Chain A
Amino acid sequence: MPSLGSDMESGKLVEWRVKPGDRVRRGDIVAVVETQKGAIDVEIFDSGVVESLVIEPGTEVPVGTVLATVRSEGEAAAEPATPKPAPRPPQATPTAPPPPAAAPVRPEPAVARPAPPAVGGEATPVRASPAARQRAAALGIDLATLTGSGPGGAITLADVEAAPAQPPARAPRASPSVRQRALELGIDLAGVTGSGAKGAITVADLERAAAGAQSAAPIPAPAPKAPFEPDAMRRAIAAAMTRAKREIPHYYLATTVDFEPALRFIESVNAARDPDRRLLYAVLLLKATALALREVPELNGFWRDERFQPSTAVHIGVAVALRRRGLIAPALHDVADKDLDTLMAELKDLVQRARAGGLRSSELTDPTITLSSLGDNGVESVHPIITPPQVAVVGAGSVVRRPWVVGEGLAVRRVITLTLAGDHRVSDGHRGALFLAALGRLLQQPEAL
C-alpha cells in the first residue's frame, strides 16, 4: 500500500486493474485505492510481470503492506505463489515505493484478512465524485447500477439522486447550511420531515431528529457508513498541517505586483479563441513559479531524512478546493518545460479529476512545491502552510484594482499579492525574497512565459 501523502496511514484496495501474468510497465495503473482523499489510481513504479495479487479488493490495509508481487525484468521466476501468509513474500516488490521514513513500516503479514465475498459479480470500475459516493452509500444505492452523466462518464451527485426506484429519489429540500449541519450530526436528510417553507428541512427539524435518534434507542440501523466519512478529509488535512506547523520552521514573505501586463496578455490571447481554448491566469502563475525556482532552487524539493533533497524537475502541487469536502493539491508535472496551452489543458484535466475521481498516485506524491491561488473572492493575500515533505508554498491572492504608482503619477491597476512560506531549515528570507522578486519580474513579461 503506497503512502499517498505524509498523513496517510492506511488505504482500502478497491479493485485490481491487472491479473497475475500481466506484463506491466512503470507508470501503468495497476489498482484503485480509496483513501481519505478519494479513490486514487495507483501506478506501478517498476516494470515486470505480475506474479500474484496478495490483497483482495475490499480490504483496508496499513501503508507499507505488500499488495502484489511483481517479477522484474530479468529476475528469475519465484516459487509459484504460495498461499501461506508470509511477512515478505520471496522476490516481493511492493506495488509502490516504500513509504517515506516517517511512515512506520508495519510487520503485518502480507495476507491479512479473508477476502470478503464478491459483491454483485465481477467488479466494474466505477468512476464517481466523492459527493456521489457518499450520497449513494447513504441511500443504499449501488453505484454500479447507475449511468454517469458527468465528465468522462463519472457518476455525479445528481445521477445518484435521480436514480430510479430508490425510495427518496428526490433530494430533500434543505439549505446548504442545513445540509452541512446534517453532515455534522450524521443525519440522513431523506429521513427528516421538513417544517419549513415548501417542506424544506430546517435546523430545528434536524435537532429534533438528532434528539429523537438518541432517545429512541434501538431504532433501525444508523445510516450505513459512507465509503469515506465526511470529515475524513478534514482529519487528513489536520494531520498534515499539524505536522507542518510542529516540524517546519516557516518564514513568510509577501509582495504586491502589477498584474495588468499578465491579465492583458491573457485577455488578448483569449479574445481570438473559443472558450474551450482560453487560458486562465493561473497558468502564468504556474509557469512563472517554475522559472523563478531555477533562480532559487532551494525552494524546490523535499525535506527527508533530516536533510534537503533538491529536485531538478518542478512538479507544482495545485491546491484545488473540493466543494464542501476540503482541499487537495495534486501535481502538475514538469511545469518549467511546458507551454501555456499544454499547462492549461493539463490543469483543466487535473482539476476535473481531483473533483470527479481518477487522480493518479504519482500526482499525490510528486509535488516539489505547492501553489495556492485564492481565485477571485476579493481576499487579497493568503499565507499558506507548507505541505511536508515539501519545503515551500507559494500563495496568490485575488486580483484587485488599486491605485498604483506608474512613473511619477497614479493609475488604477489590477494587482495581485504573492506570498511565500519557506522552510527555514533549507532557505532563509533573503533567498525567499529573491524568488518572489523573480516571480514578480517574470509576470511583467508574460509573452516570454
Chain B
Amino acid sequence: MTETELRERLLAILGAIAPEARETELDPVAPLRDQIDIDSMDFLNFVTAVHKQLGVPIPELDYPRLSSLNGAVHYLTPKLAG
C-alpha cells in the first residue's frame, strides 16, 4: 500500500465515522479532534476499523500517535511494511 493509498483509506474510515471529514480539507499535521467533532467512541471506532481493515495491532498506549493524519500514517507505514 502506498502512502497515498493509506491516506485515502484513513480518510474514508474517518469519513464514515464523522461525515465532515470528507467535506473539510483536513490539515494533516493538526490533531483530528481540533478539526472534526469526534469523541472517545468515535476514536475507538476509528481504531477498530483501522485494525480490522489493515490488520495492524494498535495498543491503547499508542493512541496518541494516531491523533493526526500524518501521525497515523507515520505510525502505520512501518507496521504495514513489516
Which residues of A are interface residues toward B (Cβ below 8 A)? 129, 131-132, 149-151, 156-158, 161, 171, 174-176, 179, 267, 270-271, 274-276, 278, 280, 282, 321, 323-324, 347-348, 351, 375-377
Contacts and interface: CB of A to CB of B under 8 A. Distances in A.
The 7 closest A-B pairs by CB, nearest first: A157-B19, A275-B48, A275-B47, A375-B39, A276-B48, A275-B51, A270-B60
B22 interface: yes
Contact of B16 (A158, A175, A321): A158
A274 B52 CA distance: 9
Contact of A176 (B22, B24, B57): B24
A375 B48 contact: no
A271 B60 contact: yes
B9 to A, nearest CB: 14
Interface in B5-23: 15-16, 18-20, 22-23
B37 A275 contact: no
Contacts of B40: 280, 282, 375-376
Counting contact residues on chain B (CB < 8 A from A), the size range is 20 to 34
Contacts of B58: 275
Contact of B60 (A151, A179, A267): A267
A267 B60 CA distance: 7
A319 B31 CA distance: 25
Given A174-B23, A323-B19, A351-B41, 7 more contacts: A156-B19, A158-B16, A171-B23, A275-B58, A347-B41, A376-B40, A377-B33
B60 A278 contact: yes
A320 B33 CA distance: 17
A348 B15 CA distance: 18
Contacts of A274: 48, 51, 57
B59 interface: yes
Contacts of A347: 41
A158 B23 CA distance: 9
A276 B19 contact: no
A129 B19 contact: yes
Contacts of A149: 16
A351 B17 CA distance: 12
B44 interface: yes
A91 to B, nearest CB: 45
Contacts, number: 65
A171 B22 contact: yes
A176 B20 contact: yes
Contacts of B23: 157, 171, 174, 176, 179
A174 B20 CA distance: 11
Contacts of A278: 44, 60
Most A CB within 10 A of own CB, among B22, B23, B47: B23
Contact of B22 (A158, A323, A377): A158
A187 B39 CA distance: 29
B48 A280 contact: no
A156 B17 CA distance: 9
A348 B59 CA distance: 20
Interface string B19-43: 1101110000000010001011100
A313 B40 CA distance: 28
Contacts of A351: 41
Contacts of A161: 22
9 contacts: A150-B16, A157-B19, A158-B16, A270-B60, A282-B40, A321-B39, A324-B37, A351-B41, A377-B33
A271 B18 contact: no
B26 to A, nearest CB: 12
Interface in B30-82: 33, 37, 39-41, 44-45, 47-48, 51-52, 57-61
B47 to A, nearest CB: 5
Contacts of B15: 158
B39 A275 contact: no
A130 B18 CA distance: 13
A152 to B, nearest CB: 12
Contact of A276 (B18, B39, B52): B52
A150 B17 CA distance: 8
Contact of A323 (B16, B24, B37, B44): B37
Most A CB within 10 A of own CB, among B19, B40, B58, B60: B19
Most A CB within 10 A of own CB, among B44, B52, B59: B44
Contacts of B24: 175-176
Contacts of B18: 323
A182 to B, nearest CB: 12
Most A CB within 10 A of own CB, among B24, B39, B40, B48: B39
B30 to A, nearest CB: 14
